[in-house]
Structure 1
Amino acid sequence: MAQNLEEAIAEAGSPVKLLWESQTPPAVVPRVVQEFSNWRDEQLAWRRTAVLYDQSHHMADLNIKGPDALKLIRDLAINSVENFPVDMAKQFVAVNHDGYVIGDNILFHLEEDEYQAVGIPPSINWMHYHAVTGGYDVRIWRDDNSLVRQGDPVCYRYQVQGPGAMDVIREATGEEPPKLKFFHMTRFTIGGKEVRALRHGMAGEPGFEMWGPWEDQAAVHAALLEAGAKHDMIQVGGRAYHTNALESGWLPRPLPAIYTDERLAPYRKWLGENAYETISPLGGSFHSDNIEDYYVTPFELDYGRIVSFDHDFIGREALEKAVDEGRTDTRRKVTLVWNGDDVADAVGSMYRPGPGAKYFNLPMSLYDTFHADRVESGGRVVGQSTWTGYSANERAILSLAVVEPELAEPGTEVTVIWGEDTPSSKLQVEDHVQVKIRATVQPAPLTTKARTSYRAD
């Protein structure tokens, strides 16, 4: 019986075989009510009024404190940390030695020599591993998500966003919200409790992310609901939550590029038999026996704008070489708007003699944790479609994809292959046939506000 990722790969025969036939359900938002009203109205509200997200349960927190805290971060991050004062946050992005993405998280500078990384496991595990094995003078504590942890979180985490978000914050605090730049932090008093807050937004609308000790959760939550009731704020449930990325353009869950490099064998041995990277299912119409065909570069995810060579970090040499050799424009991140008639025909196949098309879960259509569908043009594969779901705001199935540069122009028509070529044994995969669905390329982020203004104000 395998006791770590390295042994699990050996037992399965390859990384692809390990993940492709994983019997673990797809990652979800645990402990959060699935729908407070209905997921359609919850989606519409983040464009029309205001919403309250409960982010307390689906992410892990890694607190890093000590004289070497910034050195640890600097050694792993592709982005600069030179301008990183207390009460500021950054998107932390890590790559492997060959320059392929391992993961990202939001990194908060809480106090002098104290930082907190918040996100899903791949980047959290990577930072944790180096913190405990790299000889750094740091102390860490970790709080895993509510699927893993017993009991309540250490911290609650809420986000209020939407056109009416500032009205809700003003009502809840009794004060005018400070005019902060994106990813800068402040403190509020809400429900008689001190709350730390990050200027943030997740679907291209303004908002604040707020957190504090779990024992303050009930008071803060009640005060936010009371304030929000006066401004038509709606709570967002677990079903709608993940779909906000379809509109904001952030591509969640790239497959972490850790499965093959011999230099990472000690890391794979450190990751346990039940680690996220060991058990999470991989699926989609794109299938390759080479796990590296699923890897993405930071340039493909539009992180080239934050890559900085003002410091040494794991993967720097590979990224510098890519820049020098002009290999930074291999694929571009886009939004695909799926053709409604083709989707309707695929969904309708469940009412005809079967097998029909792969079932569309709504609003998130994925049946796995790591997903890659073939994007085709002219009969050849030109990219991969990943995060897929329905947006009531756009009245369409959307997906985030990476495609060849010449096909990234808005309005370009491509074809997405939906369903697995040979249905796997994954729990959410029934007998089905593949179908072709036309899709139109649009920018990522899809909304103009998310592309142009909300990070700048």
Structure 2
Amino acid sequence: MADTPQPPQMPQLPTFPHSPFVPYDPIVQFYECAAWAFGGDAEAWEYTGWRDETLASTTTASLHGHLNPSPTLRLTGPDALEFLSGVCVNSFANFRVGASRHAIMTDELGRVAAHGMLLRLAEDDFITYWLSPYLTYRLSHRPDLDVTAEDLTGQVFLFQLSGPRSLEVLEGAAQENLHDVRFLRHRTATVAGTEVRVIRIGMSGTLAYEVHGPVEQAIPVYEALMAAGEEYGIRRMGVQAYMCQHTQGGFGQAYYHFPLPWGEDEELAEFFAGLGFPPIGKFLRLHGSAGEDMARRYRSPYELGWGHMVRFDHDFVGRAALEREAAANARTMVTLVWNPEDIADVFLSQFRKGEEHPEMNMPNHFMYEVGDREHLQSLWADRVLAGGRDVGTSSGRCFSAHSGEMLSLATVETAVAAEGTEVVVVWGDPGTRQKEIRATVARFPYLVEPARNEHVDVSGIPSRFPARAAGTAPAGEARTANA
């Protein structure tokens, strides 16, 4: 009897590791694997489509879990606050337990070198997100201070829940009234049997919260939030839609709107190399009419619209440079609304052989390019003209499904920053068939409807759970009612 034919053996292909922070979803067709190439995991590019996902954050609720793992550093010790005050532009004169800050660090030239969230957990206990490893570098210069740093990267999760129904979703998952969590405040709650920390912050512009907890419970918490949001039409947010939030919400994002000046300091580069980082500044592929000029791509807090967070009531790295900039008031951040007819001409030009303008992806340009064997991170920035004169730099172009417009953030001369001012964005790399696109200076931040997070009066949002008694706090947590 002849041997039974065996089916051909399929070649064994390497499988990419799915993110341990969010559940695998079989409906996802495309994954962003840039992190995978560096030994990380694959993140969902889209779940239900970028339009659907971005609209959810202004109409119902969206859940984003692809910032994981977030660089997380916990600082403890009697000198922790003194150290933070010396490296952040923010004032901590009234920084109480239970409060949080969007902390900004600058270099000696006043350029943003790191920014992220800072939470005060106890008198001498702070946790930071996205400030390290630059924060660690600065700490290495202060051996005189009694500060202990603990790297929690990969040990904790961070989920972003945004949209007008986000509080209702969160309360449904926690089975608790959370109306007492005010803007930039935080406290603990329980979701899926796990103690988590709830913070009222967000980058979308709308009402939004973050939920933090131990990585071992990331997926149960994520699934509990999705289950609680089902009745409200909650959506998962993928990588492609995420950056649109930052532009329409007016919140500049590193390596989408601006780079960090990490490649010019040899001591910093050597420190990062010791942590296993690739050569800083060697991984960028620069696009846009701004060309190779890195100086115009960096940003100060004032140039990002964050000047109101700079306080000169303390000494910090970069203070002298920012004092000069504050006095000059020469440049500021605005939103630009691009002319739809000029945009249409860019698309129509693709059908005119030999007359094509540089392609304009929808809704935005991703940070990595197909077929790039060097795997460089692409960064776009375009010159802004007024009356034929170069007056600033535009970046973070995206199509807003909320307003139906092409938007970007631009740092421009204060003299042309008034709403309604007509400018021109030069589209395309130097040496290509560039296109001048008319644009109008608009309000910054652009997304003001529905109301922005800091202005939302949550007392008008219904709750199924009784309000917490005044002055009470979750078990094991210090009282933060007056934080």
Query: Shorter chain as normaliser: what TM range?
Result: 0.7 to 0.9
- 5 Å-filtered alignment, 1:314-329, equals 314-323=317-326, 326-327=327-328, 329=329
1:112 to 115, 123, 126: 123
Matches within 5 A, 1:325-340: 326-327=327-328, 329-340=329-340
Among 385, 403, 410, which residue is 2:412 paired with?
A: 403
Within a 5 Å distance, the mapping from 1:357-376 to structure 2 comes to: 357-365=357-365, 368-376=377-385
Q: Which residue of 2 aligns with 1:445?
A: 445
Say if 2:89 is the partner of 1:41.
no
The superposition leaves residues 155-214 of structure 1 with CA deviations (integer Å, 9 ceiling, x where unpaired) of 121121111112212211222223332110011211111110101132221121001001
Counterpart in the other structure of 1:220:
221
Query: 1 CA distance for matches of 2:440 and 2:47?
Result: 32
Runs of 5+ unmatched residues, structure 2: 1-32, 368-376, 458-483
| Distance change in 2, residues 1:421/1:451 (3 Å) | farther
- Residues 1:27 and 1:403: Cα distance change in structure 2 (over 3 Å): farther
Q: What are the superposed Cα offsets for residues 385-417 of structure 1, whole Å, 9 maximum, x if unpaired?
A: 011111111112211111111221112221111
**Where in structure 2 are the equivalents of 1:287-302 lying within 5 Å?**
287=291, 289=293, 291-302=294-305
Asked if structure 2 preserves the Cα contact closer than 8 Å seen for 1:25 and 1:281, the reply is no
**Rg: which structure is higher?**
2
Structure 2 partner of 1:305: 308
One-letter code aligned to 1:125: P
Whose helix fraction is larger, Structure 1's or Structure 2's? 1
Once the two structures are TM-superposed, the CA of residue 98 in structure 1 deviates from its matched residue by: 2.5
* Structure with more relative contact order (C-alpha pairs < 8 Å, separation 6 or more): 1
After TM superposition, the score normalised by the length of structure 1 is 0.82
Q: 1:143 to 1:281 in 2, by over 3 A?
A: farther
Q: Decide whether aligned partners of structure 1 residues 134 and 369 sit closer, same or farther in structure 2, where only a CA change above 3 A counts.
A: farther
Residue aligned with 1:308, SS: coil
Query: More deviation in 26-35 or 267-276?
Result: 26-35
In 2: Cα distance, 1:58 partner to 1:407 partner: 40
Superposition map of 1:377-388 within 5 A: 377-388=386-397
Identify the residue that residue 76 of structure 2 maps to in structure 1. 65
Contact 1:201/1:454 (<8 A) preserved: no
1:132 matches 2:137: no
Give the 3-state SS of the residue equivalent to 1:293 in structure 2.
coil
Is 1:94 paired with 2:102?
A: no
Q: Cα–Cα, structure 1 residues 26 and 364, in superposed 2: closer, same or farther, change >3 Å?
A: farther
State the distance in 2 between where 1:27 and 1:387 align: 24
Letter in 2 for 1:283: H
SS in 2 for 1:45: helix
- Secondary structure of 1:243's counterpart equals helix
User: Could you say which residue in structure 1 is the equivalent of 2:234?
Assistant: 233
Distance in 2 separating the partners of 1:41 and 1:346: 25
Letter in 2 for 1:32: E
Give 1:107-256 correspondences, 5 Å limit.
107-119=118-130, 123-135=131-143, 136-142=145-151, 153-253=154-254, 254-256=258-260
Bigger drift between 168-177 and 393-402 goes to 168-177
Q: Which amino acid aligns with 2:389?
A: R
1:286 alignment partner AA? A
* Counterpart code for 2:252: L
SS at match of 1:242: helix
- Structure 1 residue 36 displacement after superposition: 1.2
Q: Which residue of 1 aligns with 2:343?
A: 343
Distance 1:257 1:208 in 2: 30
Partners of 2:440 and 2:36 in 1: CA distance: 28
The count of corresponding residues between Structure 1 and Structure 2 is 407
Computed over aligned residues only, the root mean square deviation of the Cα atoms, in angstroms, reads: 2.6
1:416 maps to 2:425: yes
Q: Does the residue aligned with 1:90 lie in a helix, a strand or coil?
A: strand
Q: Give the match for residue 454 of structure 1.
A: 454
Mapping 1:258-273, distance limit 5 Å: 258-260=262-264, 264-272=265-273
Alpha-carbon deviations, 1:76-123, whole Å to 9, x = none? 01111122222211011111222222231111223332222212xxx4
TM-score w.r.t. the length of structure 2 is: 0.78
Aligned 8 A contact 1:185 1:199 in 2: yes
Separation of aligned partners in 1, 2:395 and 2:242: 17
Q: Take 2:67 and 2:112, find their aligned partners in 1: how far apart are those partners?
A: 25
Give the match for residue 402 of structure 2: 393
**Bigger mean CA offset, 264-273 vs 183-192:** 264-273
- Paired amino acid for 1:359: E
Q: Give the gaps of 5 or more residues in structure 1.
A: 1-23, 145-152, 423-431
Output the CA distance in 2 between the equivalents of 1:213 and 1:87: 19
